[in-house]
Amino acid sequence: MATMTAVKDKKTKKAPVRGMMDNVLEQFNSAADQVGLHPNIRKILAITNNEIIVNFPVKMDNGDVEIFTGYRVQHNNALGPYKGGLRYHPTVDIDAARALAMWMTWKTSLAGLPYGGGKGGIKLDPSKYSQGELERITRRFTFALADNIGPEHDIPAPDVNTSSQTMAWIADTYMSTRPPAERTANQHVVTGKPEGSGGLEGRDRATGYGVYLNIKYWAQRKNEKLKGKKFIVQGFGNVGYWAAHFLEEEGAKLVAVQDAFGSIENQKGITVEDLFNYSKANNGSIVDFPEAKSLQKENFYSTTCDICIPAALGNQITKENAGDIKATLIAEGANGPTNVEGEKILLEKGVTIIPDILCNSGGVVASYFEWLQNRNGELWQLEDVIAKLDKKMKDSFDKVYEYSESEAMDFRTAAYCIAIKRIEKAYIQRGIFP
Ligand code: GLU
């Protein structure tokens, strides 16, 4: 299939490098074939609505000016305002932003939210900048995006290397640049804010908690216990840490972790809170954690375990390592961690994959609760947030599980079919303007 993102290496005539967009389009096309998606709607959904690229200057601590490139891709808004995170990472580019925006459209549709999908970020390594520089970069990026975001139009949230602090800066900058009478009414321009600034209690853990819930619901369907199950986590950030925290509470055992700095293993078990405190004290790195031995990077995915949770970046499970995976369940905390070729190998081996658009949707569901809280001038209690999140996640899991059983298809294809059918229905009801 010809795609818009394949990059050809002219000198060596190597096979084209597969981008993230190739991956999401292949997933989409295969589900579109399954449901017989209307050809006009296939055309619309295969492309993004808007792509905003901004280059903006920021003064560094030493007085020099640096130019940054930021992206916001708005894939589709048939079901509601664009929704999705902003990431700060050297891998952020237009291909990644397009693919990630598309995944958000499927995710919000599958979760039954009144949102479309968007994604963006800045191409940078945040560890190279001071807190003051990151604040100025974030504020200037928000100013550059200007009216391309808004509480009823496009609502960013945290993603890789962005936090509640980042969201507080965005909200403050956005509100400060509105006309006076509109300022405080625009708090819900972003979600994932700190609790003191309109944030939702429980939003911090919602993605990891949702990953854990999906694993729990899967185990219940299989009549299996989580107690004693061994699991490995790639990425020990917000998603990986919280998923591990809740799995450990159920008696499952964390046996290996990989982060950007290194990999560790202990088949007897790694205490999640000890590792969390260690990494906090070591600039976010798990390397040299005393309770575990270090592991070669390339051996991480072949570690003995029952459950594997990729919770870092995309394209991590590929044809290079899928065959070595020991886990029988992959729970995708990250977006796009398994590429199409890797997935094929896993499915042939009988491995179950709980796909990203279902598995990590707890974050955007909690974002929706935060948005409602702000819009309605309410303050929700943690127990209500958790109860509502449990219900939403269970409904989505059951829908995907039952569809996959009745149509005899894998979970990802089932999740896509449900998601794209909901969008198709909206287009058929409304028609195409003019
Ligand atoms: N960045 C998260 C995701 O990929 C959350 C998005 C949101 O809350 O809008 O789902």
Sign, CA torsion 245/248/252/257? positive
Q: Which of 83, 107, 119, 123 is catalytic?
A: 119
pLDDT digits (tens, 9 = 90+) for 82-135: 999 999 999 999 999 999 999 999 999 999 999 999 999 999 999 999 999 999
182 or 68, which is more confident = 68
Whether residue 174 has pLDDT greater than 60: yes
State the pairing for strand pair 253-258/352-354: unpaired
Give the mean pLDDT of 319-343: 97
For ligand 1, whether the C-beta of 86 sits within 6 Å is: no
Report the distance separating Cα 104 and Cα 92, nearest Å: 16
Q: What HEC string does 369-428 produce?
A: HHHHHHHCCCCCCHHHHHHHHHHHHHHHHHHHHHHHHHHCCCHHHHHHHHHHHHHHHHHH
Report which ligand 1 atom has the smallest distance to the Cα of 364.
8
Read off the pLDDT band of 182 (50, 70, 90).
Answer: confident
Query: Which 8-state DSSP code applies to residue 189?
Result: G
Which DSSP string corresponds to 67-103? EEEEEEEEEE-SSSSEEEEEEE-TT-SHHHHHHHHHH
d(CA 309, CA 296): 18
Residue 105 CB less than 6 A away from ligand 1? no
What residue spans of 177-255 are helical by DSSP H?
203-222, 238-249
Our answer on whether the CB atom of 84 is closer than 6 Å to any ligand 1 atom is yes
Mean pLDDT of 351-378: 98
Atom of ligand 1 nearest to the CA of 192: 8
- Cβ–Cβ < 8 Å for 86, 156: yes
Which residue, 305, 298, 297, 238, is CA-closest to 267? Answer: 305
CA distance 262 to 284: 11
CB 306 within 8 A of CB 228: no
Cβ atoms of 359 and 172 closer than 8 Å: no
In contact, 108 and 115? CB cutoff 8 Å: yes
Q: Is the pLDDT of residue 426 over 80?
A: yes
Query: Residue 409 and residue 177: Cα distance in Å, rounded?
Result: 49
| pLDDT in the model for residue 17 | 65
Which residue CA neighbors atom 6 of ligand 1 most closely?
A: 84
**Out of 177-191, 207-221, 385-399, least confident range:** 177-191
Cα 163 to the center of its chain, rounded Å: 13
Single pTM value for the model: 0.95
Mean pLDDT of the chain: 95
Q: Give the H or E element holding residue 174.
A: helix 164-176
Work out the average pLDDT over 7-27: 71
Ligand 1 center–CA 94 separation, angstroms: 18
**Nearest residue to 267 via CA among 281, 249, 253:** 253
- Closest ligand 1 atom to 83 CA: 9
Ligand 1 pocket check: which of 207, 369, 389 to mutate, most ligand atoms within 8 Å of Cβ?
207
The pLDDT of residue 6: 42
Ligand 1 neighbourhood includes 159 CB (under 6 angstroms): yes
Report whether pLDDT(12) > 50.
Answer: no
Which of 15-24, 210-219, 323-332, 361-370 bottoms out in mean pLDDT, i.e. has the lowest?
A: 15-24
pLDDT tens across 295-328, in order?
999 999 999 999 999 999 999 999 999 999 999 9
Task: With a cut of 80, say whether residue 22 has pLDDT above it.
Answer: yes
Strand partners, 354: 331
Distances (CA, A) of 195 to 168, 173, 191, 370, 384: 10, 18, 11, 10, 15
Q: Catalytic site residue 119? A: yes
Closest CA to 101 of 112, 114, 86: 86
* In the predicted structure, residue 220 carries a pLDDT above the cut 90: yes
Q: What is the DSSP letter of 151?
A: T
Ligand 1 in reach of 163 Cβ (< 6 A): no
Contact in structure between 145 and 54 (CB atoms under 8 Å): yes
Pocket of ligand 1 contains residue 83 by CB under 6 Å = yes
